[in-house]
Structure 1
Amino acid sequence: MIRVTLRVAALVLALLLALPLHLLWRLLRLPSPWPKWFLGSVARIIGARRRTIGAPLRRDVVFVSNHLSWMDIPILAGRSGSAFVAKAELSTVPLVGWLCTLNGTIFVRREERMAVADQINALREALAEAWAITIFPEGTTGDGKALLPFKAALLAVLDPPPPGVMVQPVRVDYGAATTELAWVGDEPGTAHARRVLGRRGSFAATVHFCEPFDPRDFSGRKAIAAEARARITAAGGG
C-alpha cells in the first residue's frame, strides 16, 4: 500500500509539473513536448526501464503494435510521441479520459458501423497534421505468449493509404515480467492498475521498432495487417 501511495503521489507531481507548461505551449501555439514528457515519466514511475531497438519514424506514420497492458501507452508515447486510437468508453473515465485528450487520442466506437466513415476521416485529419498514430490491431490486450489475430477493420484508415504515410510495426515486450504484468481476462482496470503500481522493483520494457514499409505496396488492409503481424512476430524471435 505504501508503494502504491508513493507512486500515485509521484504521478500527481509529474502531472502538476507538466500540465501548466503544456497549457502555456498551447496558448503560444507551439508544439507541446509535455504530453510526451509526462507519459515518459509515467512509464518510469511505474517501474518500466525502457530498452529501444530500432528507431521510430517521427511523422507521417501509423505504428501497428501488439498490446499487453495500459502501460504500453506511456511506454510507447514516451519514446515516440505518438497519439493513440482508443475505444470511446475510455473517454468517459474520470481524469483518464481527459488526460487522453491532451495527447490527441482519437476515440472510436467500433460497434457503430454508421460512424465508421467519420472515424476514418478523423484519423486521416490527424495524419494530415503530421501526427504519429498508434493502432493496436489485436483489439484487446494479450498474454504476451502469442499474438492474437489482427482485426483488419481497425486499419481502415490505410485503405487506401493517405499520401506519404508509412506503416511501422512495433513489438512491446516486458521480458520475464510479461506474464505478471499482462492485462488479460476479466480483471477490472482499477485492480490491474493497483497491481502494477504495487509491484516491487522495476521491469525491462523492450520496444522494438521494426523496419517500416509502404502500405501502397500491399493490396488492401488485410494484406497490410498480415505484413505488420509477420514483422511483429519475427521481432519476437518466432
Structure 2
Amino acid sequence: MVLLANHVSWIDILALGGSTGAAFVAHDGIARWPVIGWLAAQNNTLFVARERRGALSHQLDALRAAMQGHQPVALFPEGTTSDGSGLLPFKPSLLAVLLPPPRAVLIQPVHIDYGAATGEIAWHGDEPAGTNAWRVLGHKGPLVVTLRFLAPFDPASCADRKAIAATARDAIAASIALHQRPFASAPPSI
C-alpha cells in the first residue's frame, strides 16, 4: 500500500504513521535534525535529495525496495506543507516507481483534516519550526485530526506518474471541498 496524503503540519506524520504504521519518504535534510532525524530513521524513513535530479534513479530503487516490504509507504506529494485550505501541486517524480507496479500495490489517497484548528496547526511559508511547534504544543483543548482514507486505486490503471498524481490529487481535493469548514487563522507571530 502506498499512501498519498495532503501535508499541513509535522503532526501529520504522527497521525498517519500512528494509525497505519507507514514508513515515510522525507527530504534528506530531516535526517540531520536533532532528535527528529533519529526518530525518523527508527521508522524506516526513506530520505531523498529532492534538489539532486541525478539521484532520482537511486531514490526510485530505494523506494522500490521499501515497497517490497510489508510496511505501507507514505508520501506527501505536495513536497512541503500548506495552509490546509487547499492543495499545492503534486510533484510526481517519485511516483514513477509505481509503473509498472512492483507487486500488487494500491494507492490510498488520504485527506488529513484538522477542522477548525487547521489555520492554527498549519506549518507553512517561512515560519521557523520552533515557532510552529511552540504554537501547536500550546494549543488549548484537544487537537482533533481526521484521517479520511479515500477510495484506493490501482496505479496500473493510470497512463503515467502524472496521471497517478492527478488521480490522487483529485480525490483529496474533492474531500477537502466536501468537508471544508471555516478555520481560525494562526495567531500573529510574536
Fold in common (TM above 0.5) = yes
Following TM superposition, by how much is the alpha carbon of 1:182 offset from its aligned partner in structure 2, in angstroms?
A: 0.4
Aligned twin of 2:116? 176
Aligned twin of 2:182? none
Query: Is residue 2:84 matched to residue 1:144?
Result: yes
Provide the C-alpha distance between the structure 1 equivalents of 2:118 and 2:66, rounded to a whole number of angstroms: 32
Aligned twin of 1:208? 148
Aligned twin of 1:158? 98
Higher helix share: 1
Aligned 8 A contact 1:84 1:133 in 2: yes
TM-score (norm 1): 0.73
Following TM superposition, by how much is the alpha carbon of 1:204 offset from its aligned partner in structure 2, in angstroms?
A: 1.6
- The one-letter amino acid paired with 1:89 is G
**C-alpha RMSD of the superposition:** 1.0
Aligned twin of 2:9? 69
Following TM superposition, by how much is the alpha carbon of 1:236 offset from its aligned partner in structure 2, in angstroms?
A: 2.1
Aligned twin of 1:217? 157
- The one-letter amino acid paired with 1:160 is P
1:123 maps to which of 63, 73, 76: 63
Aligned twin of 1:96? 36
Deviates more, 1:217-226 or 1:123-132: 123-132
Identity among equivalent positions (%) equals: 51
Structure 2 stretches of 5 or more lacking a match?
A: 179-190
1:87 maps to which of 27, 30, 50: 27
Aligned 8 A contact 1:135 1:154 in 2: no
Provide the C-alpha distance between the structure 2 equivalents of 1:233 and 1:181, rounded to a whole number of angstroms: 19
Q: State the aligned residue count.
A: 178
Aligned 8 A contact 1:169 1:209 in 2: yes
Aligned 8 A contact 1:169 1:212 in 2: yes
Structure 1 stretches of 5 or more lacking a match?
A: 1-60
Pick the structure with greater CA Rg. Answer: 1
Provide the C-alpha distance between the structure 2 equivalents of 1:65 and 1:79, rounded to a whole number of angstroms: 13
- The one-letter amino acid paired with 2:48 is V
Superposed CA offset, 1:61-90 (max 9, x none):
110000000000000011000010000000
Provide the C-alpha distance between the structure 1 equivalents of 2:138 and 2:120, rounded to a whole number of angstroms: 12
1:13-32 superposed matches below 5 A: none
Aligned 8 A contact 2:2 2:74 in 1: yes
Following TM superposition, by how much is the alpha carbon of 1:144 offset from its aligned partner in structure 2, in angstroms?
A: 1.1
1:100-111 superposed matches below 5 A: 100-111=40-51
Aligned 8 A contact 1:160 1:220 in 2: no
Aligned 8 A contact 2:22 2:74 in 1: yes
